[in-house]
Amino acid sequence: MSLRVLLCASEVVPFVKTGGLADVAGALPKALAALGHDVRLVLPGYAAVDKKKFPSRKVRSLTVPLGGKSVSVTLRSSEAIPGVPTYLIDSPKHFSRDGLYGEPDDGERFALFCRAIVELARQHDWCPQVIHGNDWQTGLLPVYLKRVYAQDEKLADVATLHTVHNLAYQGVFEPSVLEAAGLDAGLFTVDNLEFYGQVNFLKGALIFADLLSTVSQTYSREIQTSELGERLEGVLAKRKDDLFGVLNGLDYEEWNPAADPHISAHYDASAAAPKAENKAALQQRLGLPERPEAPLFGMVSRLASQKGLDILGDVLPHLLGLDAQVAVLGTGDPYYHHLMSDLADRYPDKMAAVLDFDNPLAHQIYAGCDFFLMPSRYEPCGLGQMISLRYGTIPIVRRTGGLADTITDFDAHTGEGNGFSFKQYSAVALMGAISRALLTMQTRPAWSRLVRNAMNCDFSWGRSANEYVDLYRRAIERHRG
């Protein structure tokens, strides 16, 4: 039976993006629609949304109670994602800013977003069976539904699923945000939204949503521990029976080496030889010597300690001392900008660092490198390793979160496996995985088998979408019960 699902996110590809949440929010609804479900999207109507590229029409005005006042917002609709009606909550006071987040009034802004979504469901002629929230920006949705709208007949049967994409980001604000959000001061207790003297939006979702999910099975277990629980491990442990891990999928239309417009030569698992042409083109693009025999390591990442840049920084001088090349693309912490720039200056024939966001170059790195580095301290899901598999570029990862759920160590004797991993978070363990990878590359039959294994992996959205449908049905049953 077809379901009515409203997926709510603070960023969505192709409208606006700062991280992986936007990729998920743009791809999952398309996969759900392909399964025959009536799925719709809602996001804030930011000034950053290109109005010419993504035109929208006014659907109606919504009256949103907030902080003892009534705020009028405009509900707009876009057809930018075929088959997935997309709503934008247009409130210039709240969303006509230069960026998406980091404003002093973020608490009020995203409280308005959450309550406007509830009013959309209440006032519009289409009402979802499930509201699917994502991350802290939609954390108040289940709070409003259960504590403010509990007696509303139209919303009585609306179930909630909330997905945590990265537990480190929680939406923590001063207690006064409760009044601004129009929520009862009685919610400021340890069993509700109070969090070390402040208010935590994400905690609200963890307590009040019917079901919870995160973006890999391993991460769902890790966040119940003190190491990765970000001071919410107790709340999550209490809800362990309602917490599920569903791996993100990959958009195989966007990431397809057989048709990628950004790479020099197209190829697939049955004929991967043109990959060598992409390697030569990437070396030329980055100003590195065109040496087909030199192992080429790539990294496309936010440059932050979470991504393992500290242990990678210890390893890179040793790796560059070998007969290898390294290509790094990304932006982030100024410390790591300096580190990568300094290494590129010291080893100009072996390392290139592009400290920028460059989508075509990212595609070229995935297609042209031999190995892809993801030594993350933690990684809720990760898309980089899935993309690199798709392009036959062998991932070297730390065994954590979604990396543990997607990468299996290659065994040259059995011919099984799709990459290389290490468990201990240390430079020594990372270098050990790199050494095993380089040794495998020297044995041509084993290397060819490994590349085929990688390219034959299937992490498309179809599998994950079916798992979400199952969770939606469980959430509905849980809500009724």
Lowest mean pLDDT among 16-25, 117-126, 423-432: 16-25
- Are both 4-249+462-480 and 275-458 of the same fold? yes
Backbone angles phi, psi at 170, to 5 degrees: -125, -15
Query: For the segment 239-268, what is each residue's pLDDT rounded down to a tens digit?
Result: 999 999 999 999 898 899 999 999 999 999
> Which numeric CATH code is attached to 275-458?
3.40.50.2000
Which residues, other chains included, contact 130 with Cβ-Cβ below 8 Å and sequence gap of 6+? Answer: 3, 4, 5, 6, 158, 159, 160, 161, 472, 475, 476
- Summarize the confidence of residues 13-23 as an average pLDDT: 92
Torsion sign across C-alpha atoms 336, 339, 343, 348: positive
Q: How many angstroms separate the CA atoms of 267 and 169, rounded?
A: 39
Q: What percent of the chain has pLDDT over 90?
A: 96
The pLDDT, as a whole number, for residue 307 is: 97
Q: What is the pLDDT of residue 1?
A: 87
Per-residue pLDDT band at 405 (split at 50, 70, 90): very high
pLDDT at 71: 94
DSSP 228: T
Q: SS3 string of 345-408?
A: HHCCCCEEEECCCCHHHHHHHHHHCCEEEECCCCCCCCCHHHHHHHCCCEEEEECCHHHHHHCC
Contact 276, 343 (CB under 8 A): no
The residue-averaged pLDDT of 370-397 equals 97
| Average pLDDT value for residue range 99-122 | 97
Cα–Cα distance, 350 to 294 (Å, whole number): 9
Rounded Cα distance between 310 and 440, Å, is 26
CA distances 156 to 85, 107, 207, 230, 331, Å, are 24, 26, 18, 33, 45
d(CA 334, CA 155): 47
Stretch 413-437: mean pLDDT = 98
- Enumerate the domain spans of the chain: 4-249+462-480, 275-458
Judge whether residue 148 has pLDDT over 90: yes
Is residue 273 predicted with pLDDT exceeding 90?
A: no
| pLDDT score, position 20 | 87
Question: Residue 171: which region, alpha, beta or left (left: phi > 0; alpha: psi -120 to 50)?
Answer: left
Q: For the domain 4-249+462-480, what is the CATH superfamily, name and number? A: Glycogen Phosphorylase B; (3.40.50.2000)
Instruction: Indicate whether 293 pLDDT > 90.
Output: yes
- At 446, the pLDDT band (50, 70, 90 cuts) reads very high
Q: What value does the mean pLDDT take over residues 48-63?
A: 96
Q: Pick from 42, 36, 174, 227: which is nearest to 121 by CA? A: 42
Please give the single-letter amino acid code of residue 176.
Answer: S
List of E strands, 79-201: 86-90, 130-134, 159-164, 172-173, 194-195, 198-200
- Tokens matching residue 56: 């929208």
The whole-model pTM stands at: 0.94
What is the dihedral angle through the alpha carbons of 33, 36, 38, 39, rounded to the nearest 10 degrees? -30
- The pLDDT assigned to 271 comes to 87
Considering only the C-alpha atoms of the chain, give the largest distance between any 2 of them, rounded to a whole number of Å: 70
- Cβ atoms of 197 and 359 within 8 Å: the answer is no
The pLDDT score that the predictor gives to residue 123 is 94
**pLDDT at position 439, please?**
97
Query: Which candidate, 339, 364, 360, places its Cα nearest to that of 351?
Result: 339
The DSSP result for 309-340, as a single string, is HHHHHHHHHHHHTSS-EEEEE--B-HHHHHHH
**Residue 19's pLDDT band (cuts 50, 70, 90):** confident
Average pLDDT over residues 140-147: 98
Question: What's 287's DSSP letter?
Answer: T
Q: Which residues pair with 421 in a beta bridge?
A: 397
Residue 163 has pLDDT above 90, yes or no: yes
Residue 201 has pLDDT above 90, yes or no: yes
Q: What are the residues facing 398 on neighbouring strands?
A: 422
Mean model confidence pLDDT for the chain:
96
- Partnered with residue 8 across adjacent β-strands are 42
The CA distances from residue 163 to 244, 402, 475, 476, in Å, are: 9, 15, 13, 16
At 481, the pLDDT band (50, 70, 90 cuts) reads confident
